[in-house]
Structure 1
Amino acid sequence: MGYIYILGTIAFTVYGQLVLKWRMNRVDTLPPGLLEKLFILFKMIMDPFVFSGLAAAFLASLFWMAAMTKFELSYAYPFMSLSFLAVFILSIVLFHEALTWQKGIGLACVILGIAISSQGA
Structure 2
Amino acid sequence: MEGWAFSNMDASKVQDKRLARRMEMTKYILLLLAITFINVIGQFFIKKGVSGQELSLASLAGIKYFLTLFLQPYIIFGFLFYAVSSILWMFVLSKVDLSLAYPMLSFGYVLVLVISKFFLHEAVSLQRWIGVFLICGGMILLAWNN
- TM-score (normalised: structure 1): 0.84
- Structure 2 matches for 1:86-97, cutoff 5 A? 86-97=111-122
2:33 equivalent to 1:10: no
- The residue aligned with 2:134 is 109
Instruction: Indicate the SS of the match to 2:141.
Output: helix
Deviation at 1:12, TM superposition (A): 1.8
Matched AA of 1:105:
I
- The residue aligned with 1:99 is 124
- CA distance in 2 between partners of 1:119 and 1:5 (Å): 16
Per-residue deviation, residues 74-108 of structure 1 (Å, max 9, x unmatched): 12222211111111111100111112122112112
Comparing both structures, which one devotes a greater share of its residues to helix?
2
Structure 1: gaps (5+ residues)? none
Deviation at 1:4, TM superposition (A): 4.8
2:55 equivalent to 1:30: yes
Bigger mean CA offset, 37-46 vs 58-67: 37-46
- CA distance in 1 between partners of 2:34 and 2:142 (Å): 20
Whether contact under 8 Å (2:35, 2:89) holds in the other structure is yes
Say which one has the larger Rg: 2
Q: Could you say what the CA RMSD is over the residues aligned between the two structures, in angstroms?
A: 1.9
Structure 2: gaps (5+ residues)? 1-26
- Structure 2 matches for 1:65-84, cutoff 5 A? 65-84=90-109
Matched AA of 1:15:
I
Instruction: Indicate the SS of the match to 2:116.
Output: helix
